[in-house]
Each structure stands twice: as C-alpha cells, then as structure tokens.
Structure 1
Amino acid sequence: MVNKFTAVDIFSGAGGMSIGAVMAGITPVLAVEFDEHAAATYKANHPHTNVLAKDIKGVEPLKHVEKHPFLLFGGPPCQGFSVANTKTRNLDNPNNWMFREYCRFVEDLKPDWFVFENVVGFKSFDKGRFAVEVEKELKSLGYKTNSSVLNAADFGVPQYRNRFFIIGHRKEKGGIKFDFDSLEKKPKVTVGEALKDLPSLKNGDKIKEAAYKRVKQVHPYVKLIRRTSKKALQNHVTHSRPHIVERYEAIKQGENWEAAKKRGLLETYSSTKHTHSGIYKRLKEDEPAVTIANYRKSMLIHPHEHRGLSLREAARLQSFPDDFIFKGPLSFQQQQVGNAVPPLLSKVIFEKIIQLSSANVG
C-alpha cells in the first residue's frame, strides 16, 4: 500500500527532521540540500528518497514530485536575518532569497501542511516584526497558520534547545490551526542518562565502532536511540592540544571558560569581554545538555572525561538514532549534528499533524 503521508524536505541538512518524519510514519520522497556532505549523509540514511544535492534556486519541484504532498518542511538558512543587519532586515533583502525559495515550494506544491523552522532568534529580529511578516506571507498562500517556540528538552530530547516554528494547514483542506499547547510534554532526560552506555574515550580518539558499556539498567531513551544497534559507531573526538586539555581539567561540571581563566589558563585570549557563556562548558550529568550547536568550536566538554564530545555523543544528545551514519570530513559531520533539528522534536510535531488530519477526515 502506498503511504499517503508523503513529505518534501528542503534545506534538509543531514536529515534530522526526516528521521523524525519516518518515526511518525511519514515518507520523505524528495530532499533538497546544497551542501554535498550533508546531502551524502541524508542519502546514506534515506536510500529510497530522491536527494538533490544542488542549489534550490535551480530546482523545479514539480519535475521531481507530484503536487499536493501531505507535508513540506524545512528551515531556510538565515544569513539575511542577521541582528547586525538592522536596516535591511526585511523580506525584500536579497540575502533572504532562501525564504523566498521556501515560499515558492509551498506555492508550487501546495502541500496539505507545511512546517517552517528556524533559530529561536528569528522570532525576536526587529522586535518580532520580521517573524510576523514571514508568517503573513505564508498565510497569504492559502494557509491557516500558527507559530511558537518549542524547547526540545520538553519532548524527551536530552538537550535544552529552542527552535521557532510556523505551521500551516491548507484552507482548502479545512484550515486547521495547529495548537502548540496540545503537544504532550515528556519527562526530562539528562546527559548522564543519555550517555551512560557509550564507551569511554580519550582526546583525539577515532574509533569507528566500539562495544557499548554494560549498565545495570538501560534507560528508556537509550533503548529508543539504540534500536537494534549492537555497537556504538563513529566515536570520533577532535584532537585538542595540550594547553586546551589543561583548560578542560580546570573546569568542573556546569562551569565554563571563566573557571579556566581564574587559574590563569586563558593567556592566549586577547580579551574575554565577548566570550560566550557556552565556551569551554563542561556538561552537567544530572541535567539536559546546553544547546549542541557548533560543539567543536565551542569546546563542549564531556561530563567526566577531559576531552570534547565525540560525534556519537553529540548525535545522542540530539536524539539521532545510533545507526545513523554521518558522511564527509569530521568537522562537517560535527556541523551536521549541530545544525539539525532533533529528530524526536520533529517526531512529536509530525505525530500531532497526522492526528489532526485523521480527525479532520473523520
């Protein structure tokens, strides 16, 4: 039987949202991603999806997929939404053509639903006026819309991560207003619970596969993420120089670069005036992680070991299944993890969309 819940994933990255879609029972039939490494990752994990590794400006969607898919989702990159770019921060700014491409896909394909996602800062640009303008434009394409900020930690992801969403349902299909408050929240999952069974590693380790640690009780989150995996894959840790490892050793759980500075270990920094609080942050084992963004550059530190996070650990904290394989050079793989929407967060949204659609038909 053909799955009636088909989806198109644009600006797909490695495919975090698509993993959530598949978990919810939705089949991605087309993905568009400009970065060749992220597109290769997507294809490796979604072998039956048509993946276009090209500039979206040159893609005519109706040449690749039938009109009226169930769902279109994605998050346009936001170079033109820069906070510093106060005078040109509007929909006519040429830098914002990515958003225009999203609208073009909605207009051409006329999906039953669309999910637009972006960084949480998107909502606050220009005192919120910009997000309102974006939603108004999407609404004008024939959709009933609603928007909100969701924190992944509220939905079973072991990470505090806010994302901004606009969700629309086609008025011709009934124009359902997505109720964000109806999403069922789940108990918090901590870093310690999420990583407990992953192998101990050293600074600079590049271990393709390793046995899981034996633990007395496997946490439900770990069971969900491990699926049928027998070993932990891609246990790759960036090699940090000795003076950086020395900084790691000075920082306790929950502390950041300031702890290293107090011990005189940041002499190479000309100034720490604008240093972000997430730099050299050692994760606390009894809480969800801080946001996993560019975790290599921000030097996020393992709760117990004096090293950065491994690729698999970061993927775990983003709720990627353990059998998900990343492609490309390590730095690109790390960025793919950091850029992704957590699959479990998107799963919750997509399950609610299916529920609303089924009730609407009934």
Structure 2
Amino acid sequence: MQVEQKGLFKYSGIDIFSGAGGMSCGAMAAGVSIDLAVEFDKHSANTFKKNHPNTLVIQDDISNINPKKYITTPPFVVFGGPPCQGFSKSNTKTRDIGNDNNNLFREFIRFVDELQPQWFVFENVEGFQSFNKGKTLKSLELTFKGLKYTTSHKVLCASSFGVPQRRKRFFMVGNRDGIKFEFPKETSTEITVKDAFHDLPKLINGQQDSALPYISKPQSQYAKLMRGATKESTQNLVSRNRDYVVERYAHIPQGGNWRSIPNHMLDNYANLDNCHGSIYRRLNLDEPSVIISNYRKNMLIHPEQDRGLSVREAARLQSFPDSYVFEGNLVSIQQQIGNAVPPLLAKEIFSQLISASK
C-alpha cells in the first residue's frame, strides 16, 4: 500500500482529527492526495508527518484553525472522525450531550461549510447512530441537507473489506452535486489472524526490538500486501506485564477470555461479575481479530505466545503497511493504532467516491 505522496494526484483531500493517519493512508492508496491534516495530539501528529512528509500537518486545537488560510479552492473531499468517547457504547459514565467531545463534530461541519468540498466522509463509532435515541444523527443529516449535501450513512465491519479484525465503524458520506453515495460491497472472504501474523517474529513478554527478520516468506496475500518492499519487521514492541499476569495467560485457550483463569488467580478483582468479556482475550488464529481499540488495557493475548500484542502485530490487524512508522512512547503508539480507521477499509470508501465522481 502507498503511504507517501509521489507524483501528482487528481483528487485532493483534507484530513481533520487525523490521528496517526489511517484514513489518509487508505485515501492515498485509492488515489487521493492529502493537502492538509489537523490533529491535536502531538505524538499522533508526529506519526502523520513521518509517514506523509508532503502533507501540511497542523498540530493544534481545531477550533483555532481557519481552513481558508491554507486551502484556497474547494477540495475533492474533507474527511475525519471527531473524538468518539462521548458516543461509544462502552462509555457508560459520560455518554451524554454534555460530554465536551460530542461538540467536536460541529467543527467537522464548520470545515465542510467553509471549504465546500465535493464530498465529505464523517467517521465515528458504531454507537453514533443510536446516540441520544438517534436524534443526533438526524440533526447531522438535516444540517448537511441545509448545506446542500446529499448524504448516506452505514455501519461497516472492517472484516468484510479485507481487514483481519471485526471492527465496526459508522460512516456518513455526503456529496454536493446530488449524488447518493452507494457504499462498497462486502467481500465474502475473511482474513484471519494467522494470515496477518504467520511471518512475523516470535517475541516474549516485554520485548523491545526496533527491527527483526521476518521468519518466513509471505504465505498469504494479506501478508504480502502488508510487507510490500519492506525488508524486516519493525517496531516489535511488547508491553511488559507482571509475572502473575503472564501466568494467567497460560490458562486461556484461543478465543477464550478471563473466564478460563482459575478464580484464585483473580483475587485482585473485587467483583468478577463486572469483568468485561474483552478482558484477557486470546486471539483465535483461524478467525479475524476482535476489536483492538485499547489492546494494552484489555490485555489482548497473542494466539500462541503468552504475551500481549506487539506494535507491528496490532498494526497488521488494523491493515497499516509494515513500512508505517509510529512516533511517541509505547503507550501513545498503542493508543494511536487502537484509535485508527483501518486503511484498507478507508481505501474501499475513497475508491468508491472516485468511481462515483467519474
């Protein structure tokens, strides 16, 4: 997959709330140049700059930015995913209109209103469509209708588009020329964890190697695609878990979770009934991964080795190519990967935008 701008692109894009650049990575693979990216987090912005050196990256609060200062003609597409904590189904404490993060999607509207792109792509968590009993979604549709955009929306699962992860995301796509966007068709073949991991090096708990040889040639088309021209596996960085945590891992079979751990080994939990099913989940080699949103905190386990996932393994599950380099400390990198839109999923959407524009 292409991650660096080379030559001229016919289509121009603006990425706001860009994070580490998952959507931009997919957009570029589809043929969209990224002229401007806006990201508040320093480490994420540095990752974006590292992998997209020809893009103007602004690291600032988006409310401080006048887009017309940098973009003088309407772009092909404005896209991005405002922070989603306020809409997530897993957020049981502040999932309400008062959550400050929920107001950031109004900044997305402002950029679309001021730049008047041909298309926009708004991305968020699956729970966005049901938030506030669907009233927020309806309000967003009416707002864009007032701006003369025809909209379509759908929840897509990444595993249906060549990504080895069952990750669902909400997308709203709008067009200024009256085109009703049709979302890309799902594929029938799922990519498994084995397809993603088979050639990556074996690691141990807490291992920190910047580069290691691949252990085999690509044995799946997916691994071949992820490797591209990359000669070795980079950022083989694994969090160091305490010994008692690693001992718990040994009790969990593929596809299992914390329930497989003997109760006497979980005596630090006050109430096991409150444990979420995603905690201590060991991935199944023969299936796509579960969602990896916060894979360090949830302690997702390698399918065959008693340790957490490495940075490169998590990036593979998100469909970031092996050439993609993440900046910042380990915790920040893990969060950047977990927050990202899978590039292969994004590529399908942007490819469909281009097809609909011809």
TM interval, short-chain normalised: over 0.9
SS at structure 2 position matched to 1:312: helix
Distance, in Å, in 2 between the alignment partners of 1:183 and 1:354 is 15
Q: How far apart are residue 184 of structure 1 and its match?
A: 4.5
SS at structure 2 position matched to 1:163: strand
Counterpart residue number, 2:319: 319
Q: How far apart are residue 264 of structure 1 and its match?
A: 2.2
Counterpart residue number, 2:332: 332
Counterpart residue number, 1:252: 253
1:76 aligns with 2:82: yes
Q: How far apart are residue 84 of structure 1 and its match?
A: 4.6
CA contact (8 A) 1:300 1:308 kept: yes
Distance, in Å, in 1 between the alignment partners of 2:344 and 2:60 is 27
Query: Which one of the candidate residues 89, 100, 107 is aligned to 2:106?
Result: 100
Distance, in Å, in 1 between the alignment partners of 2:248 and 2:146 is 53
Counterpart residue number, 1:230: 231
CA distance 1:144–1:287, change in 2 (3 Å): same
CA contact (8 A) 1:4 1:70 kept: no
CA distance 1:206–1:94, change in 2 (3 Å): closer
Counterpart residue number, 2:37: 31
Counterpart residue number, 2:65: 59
Q: Using the TM superposition, name which of 198-207 and 127-136 deviates more.
A: 127-136
Q: Pairwise CA RMSD of aligned residues?
A: 1.6
SS at structure 1 position matched to 2:270: coil
CA contact (8 A) 1:151 1:163 kept: yes
Distance, in Å, in 1 between the alignment partners of 2:271 and 2:341 is 33
CA distance 1:159–1:67, change in 2 (3 Å): same
CA distance 1:10–1:210, change in 2 (3 Å): same
Counterpart residue number, 2:117: 111
Distance, in Å, in 2 between the alignment partners of 1:196 and 1:80 is 37
Counterpart residue number, 1:307: 307
CA contact (8 A) 2:239 2:310 kept: yes
Counterpart residue number, 1:162: 168
Pairing 1:79-158 to 2, within 5 Å after superposition:
79-81=85-87, 84-85=93-94, 89=97, 95-158=101-164
The share of aligned pairs that are identical, in percent, is 51
Distance, in Å, in 2 between the alignment partners of 1:137 and 1:284 is 43
CA contact (8 A) 2:281 2:300 kept: yes
Q: How far apart are residue 4 of structure 1 and its match?
A: 2.6
Read off the aligned partner of 1:142 and give its amino acid letter: K
Distance, in Å, in 1 between the alignment partners of 2:264 and 2:129 is 39
Q: How far apart are residue 187 of structure 1 and its match?
A: 1.4
Distance, in Å, in 2 between the alignment partners of 1:245 and 1:37 is 29
Distance, in Å, in 2 between the alignment partners of 1:145 and 1:115 is 10
Counterpart residue number, 1:212: 214
1:177 aligns with 2:180: yes
Residue-by-residue CA offset, 1:195-245 (whole Å, 9 max, x unaligned): 000000000000100000125x62001111111000000000000000000
Residue-by-residue CA offset, 1:96-149 (whole Å, 9 max, x unaligned): 331111010000000000000001111121222222222222222110001000
Read off the aligned partner of 2:248 and give its amino acid letter: R
CA contact (8 A) 2:83 2:101 kept: no
TM-score normalized with structure 1 length: 0.93
Across the two proteins, how many residue pairs are aligned to each other? 349
CA contact (8 A) 1:107 1:141 kept: yes
Residue-by-residue CA offset, 1:46-94 (whole Å, 9 max, x unaligned): 00000001110100001112231001000111344465557x528xx76
Distance, in Å, in 2 between the alignment partners of 1:80 and 1:239 is 30
Q: How far apart are residue 270 of structure 1 and its match?
A: 1.0
Read off the aligned partner of 1:176 and give its amino acid letter: I
SS at structure 2 position matched to 1:28: strand
CA contact (8 A) 2:10 2:31 kept: no
Counterpart residue number, 2:198: 196
Q: Using the TM superposition, name which of 265-274 and 296-305 deviates more.
A: 265-274
Counterpart residue number, 2:18: 12
Read off the aligned partner of 1:161 and give its amino acid letter: R
Distance, in Å, in 1 between the alignment partners of 2:92 and 2:116 is 32
CA distance 1:35–1:110, change in 2 (3 Å): same
Counterpart residue number, 1:40: 46
CA contact (8 A) 1:153 1:161 kept: yes
SS at structure 1 position matched to 2:20: coil
Distance, in Å, in 2 between the alignment partners of 1:274 and 1:67 is 53
Distance, in Å, in 2 between the alignment partners of 1:83 and 1:134 is 23
Residue-by-residue CA offset, 1:266-286 (whole Å, 9 max, x unaligned): 111111222211110000000
Distance, in Å, in 2 between the alignment partners of 1:179 and 1:238 is 41
